[in-house]
Amino acid sequence: GRYLELWLIRVTADGLKAQDLNFYLRRDIHQIKILNLSDVTNQKIFLLTTADWLRIIHVLPDGRTKILIEKYDGVKSFGVSTVQDSVRIVVNIDSGFEGRKLNVYEWNMIEEDFDLMANTFEVFGKEIEQDVFVEHKYLQVANSIEEFLLTPLDEPIEWYSCNNDSGCVYSPPFYIPYFRYLQGLSYEQLGDFDKARDVYYELWNEYPDNVFGVVASMKLELVK
């Protein structure tokens, strides 16, 4: 047939026991990975399967299965990492419906499930907006942005329209030029016009057609 049955071989006091999990997999799957994460999650087994789709399945102690994550379109690859007693699933997606992006899921000990983690750039952006426009912590913002942009993170690629026929249309870069603009603005508010000018010039030089690059070019006239 077109599908594979999934059986679990368990070690019991009476020896090996075969258990039908009543779960079926397509024959064109590319990977089947069984993970024993009991040291980190206090759970026993997760099964990850993928072709251009992904299922993360929790096999319960009684043999029943619970699907934790399902992605049916455009999954290119996935990886599993354990960092500081936590488990993360990183999924690389290139989908006709969702565009190109990374989804990161982290194990929630309390809920015993995976949570989709927030966009790191979006979270950082909200923090520095609070510091700039409400708290006026300009020096802290300038230093925080410099430190954040030194980390090896790729800016998320945002899309605003996708379909399977013509693919996706992507928005221009936003986060990095926006952060650089806020950094220049912070130096400007601190009265450090030399640093503000350097940041604005770098922003304009690297993103001349971006809205923040254009604004930075105008700012150069003000911080001579």
Give tens-digit pLDDT for 152-201: 666 766 666 766 666 777 777 889 999 999 999 999 999 999 999 999 99
pLDDT value of residue 81 = 80
Whole-model pTM?
A: 0.61
Helix (H) or strand (E) holding 169: strand 167-170
Identify the DSSP state of 44.
-
pLDDT value of residue 44 = 64
Neighbouring CB atoms inside 10 A of 129's CB total 14
Q: At 129, which amino acid appears?
A: E
- Average pLDDT for residues 12-29, to the nearest whole number? 77
The whole-angstrom separation of Cα 190 and Cα 136 is 10
Helix 120-129 vs helix 138-149: crossing angle, to nearest 10: 170
Residue 63: pLDDT band with limits 50, 70, 90: confident
70 φ, ψ (degrees, to nearest 5) = -135, 125
Query: To 10 degrees, the CA torsion angle through 91, 96, 100, 105?
Result: -30
Separation in Å, CA 202 to CA 150, 213, 217 = 15, 9, 10
Beta bridge partners of 58: 46, 66
Q: Is 99 left (phi over 0), alpha (psi -120 to 50) or beta?
A: left
Helix 175-190 vs helix 211-219: crossing angle, to nearest 10: 20
Identify the DSSP state of 217.
H
pLDDT value of residue 199 = 96
pLDDT above 90 (res 12): no
User: Taking the CA atoms of the chain, what radius of gyration do you get in angstroms?
Assistant: 24
Q: Domains of the chain: which residue ranges?
A: 3-116, 120-219
pLDDT above 90 (res 32): no
Separation in Å, CA 85 to CA 9, 116, 128, 151, 195 = 27, 17, 29, 22, 41
Contact at 8 Å (CB) between 54 and 48?
A: yes
Q: What is the mean pLDDT of the chain?
A: 83
